[in-house]
Each structure stands twice: as structure tokens, then as C-alpha cells.
Amino acid sequence: MSTLDSSDAIFKALAAPTRRALLDALKDTPRTTGDLCARFPEIDRCTVMQHLKVLEDAELVIAQRKGRERWNHLNALPIKHIYERWIGPYATQAVDVLDRLKTNLG
């Protein structure tokens, strides 16, 4: 997958509130698919699996089979790359603008 395609998949995955909530649930520890389904009783198992598939395709979740269980692990590296590419440079620029404004007003 090219970098552009990869970024598109990541932004698509992060666009849905349910997928962001799934990532939040994986933030501190890997969880089984059954555990994730139990955490989201308002949606059925099939829908949870579809969301996990989108997250896997974006490489935000890594699934690992252990016996009959499917463990889902957060892969924060793509989010870090998005930060470095999009957020970091803009945040630096914004801080520089505020610093110049403070200097000019002071």
C-alpha cells in the first residue's frame, strides 16, 4: 500500500466514532473480540467485526489468534505517523505565530 493509500485508510478508520471508541478500548491492553463486543452492547457482533476489519486494513489494529480467541492489539504507529506528518508541523507553526504576536504586542 502506498503512503497516500495508507493515510487515506487511516483517516477513514479514524473518521467513525465507534472505531475511535474501539481504539480507546485497546489503548491500555489487548482485548478479545468477545470482550470488545461486550463493551459495545448497542451494536451487534457482526458490526463490531466490520469495524475491526476497517481498523486492521488501516493497520491500526493487529489481530492475533490464540486458540479459539482472537486478540486485538492497538498499533499506535500509524497514528504517530499522522501526527508527524500533519499535526506536528502545524502545531509548531501555530506556536511560532502566537510567539510573534506576543512579541509584537509586548
Q: Which three cell numbers stand for residue 70?
A: 482472537
* Cβ-Cβ contacts under 8 Å for 55 (sequence gap 6 or more): 13, 19, 22, 23, 61
Q: Is 63 helix (H, G, I), strand (E, B) or coil?
A: strand
pTM, entire model:
0.80
Distance CA 15, CA 25 (A): 16
Task: List the chain pLDDT tens, one digit each, 106 residues.
Answer: 555 578 899 999 999 999 999 999 999 999 999 999 999 999 999 999 999 999 999 999 999 999 999 999 999 999 998 888 888 878 888 888 888 888 888 7
Return the domain boundaries, the chain: 3-76
Tell me the CATH number of domain 3-76, given options 3.30.70.2700, 1.10.10.10, 3.40.50.10860, 1.20.120.1730.
Answer: 1.10.10.10
